[in-house]
Structure 1
Amino acid sequence: MPIGPMGISFLSLLTAIGAGYSFYMADLENTNWLLIGALMVFLTAVLDALDGMVARIRAISSRRGDLLDHTLDRVADIIIVGGIALGPLV
């Protein structure tokens, strides 16, 4: 069974957690963490766009799903910005 829009939304949240952690671990001596964080942010954005498309294509979009999507997006934003703010580069 293919993954549904809610699964994609939660996968997007997981990539945001990875991005936040990467930015938290980043330093100027090892820029690999910055690159990983940037790629994870990009993947988070792609998955965020994909979940809505899947819901519309499958005709299973709902107000509850839309609310969940936007809520998880804001949580993801907090995690990413928090990783940057709490990391050693600030």
Structure 2
Amino acid sequence: MLRRRLHRGGLALALAAAPLLGTGCISLGEWDFSRRPAPTIGQQLLDLKAARDGGAISDEEYETKRFQLLHPDGSGAVRIN
């Protein structure tokens, strides 16, 4: 009798946890690779140059965004990563 109750309790727990496992709300030790680190300023500058060279943005937009990347606080100080 006790064994049957424990079995039902375990089954109920498994059924309750199943949807959470399917959506990734519970991790069983797997790595989550969905989050990527932010690109470095150097990589952002390379991407920006490629956008300008490919014609996706104008020279003026390139210079504005480049300045914003190098001077995030709006000052003349250069940010180094």
TM-score after normalising by structure 2: 0.33
The structure carrying a bigger helix percent of its residues is 1
**Structure ID, larger Rg:** 2
Q: Which has the higher contact order (CA 8 A, sep 6+)?
A: 1
TM-score after normalising by structure 1: 0.31
